[in-house]
Copies of this chain bind each other. A is one copy, B any other.
């Protein structure tokens, strides 16, 4: 049997139970954006790790080393944000083919350190080694979160509002434009490509959600909205109804969809790599929280509600209910 027969999530389900042998101090292990550890101090320790591989996650010809470095840090910051945490220290492992230019590596580090600095994160070490073909970057990031404020995936409740902290779909559209070389006016393509190459981690939003006490669960949108909503619903044992008319959509995405003859909903639901947060908010706290968010320069988009049936529904603009299937990214399929 090959990996593609069971897929990424089948593989993770297969290996996850093997690893947990000493529950003491482990608040959450495999199956959330971060592992959550009780080290006996005032805050929980958060740990997340992300692996970025040349020709799978980036092409050296299509992205600057600065961009690649910054994004490798960002995807980890986004995991800490999803748990409501404050990022702390990064550990960078690099595998480098011998012929890579030192200038390129300096650029990679400039991108990583600039992004890390912006969020108060140290790069404290790691490992550096050779590689035969592809550049490989693994970053492990730690963070902290007060014990009673951590956000999990498994704690959304029926009646909670489904909230996004930003629009989705731009990154997916930007990726498609990059890979297909779609012929679009530059003022249409550039912002979308930038959304894909230079996503912003929603660390401020995550802390605001966690500190409010109004948020019951959170996840970051990395696999795609439908997929990550699916993870939240599955782990919480709930379903969700999403209203098409409430999904935030950027003017840039509308213009690209029109120019390319595409339905923007495909990108919005299944694009992936958005790195906004998807959260469950107590309905009676939504209004107050939205004001606080606005004052802090953050946006909250209520797009639906969690329900007590185990299904995900998209209520379309014309009032029909369609099943919302998780159709995001799987690395092995």
Contacts and interface: CB of A to CB of B under 8 A. Distances in A.
Interface of A: 1-6, 8, 11-12, 14-15, 18-22, 25-26, 29-32, 34-35, 37, 39-43, 45, 47-51, 53-57, 88-91, 93-96, 98-103, 105-106, 109, 113, 116-117, 120-134, 136, 138, 140, 142, 144, 331-332
A62 to B, nearest CB: 15
A4 to B, nearest CB: 6
A56 to B, nearest CB: 5
28 contacts: A1-B101, A2-B99, A3-B100, A5-B102, A14-B106, A15-B109, A15-B123, A21-B113, A21-B117, A21-B120, A22-B120, A22-B122, A29-B124, A35-B124, A39-B39, A39-B45, A39-B144, A40-B41, A50-B127, A51-B95, A53-B130, A53-B131, A55-B132, A56-B129, A56-B131, A56-B132, A133-B134, A136-B136
Copies in the complex: 2
A129 B330 CA distance: 9
Contacts of A142: 37, 45, 47
Contact of A136 (B6, B95, B113, B125): B95
A128 to B, nearest CB: 6
A40 B146 CA distance: 12
Contact of A49 (B43, B56, B125): B125
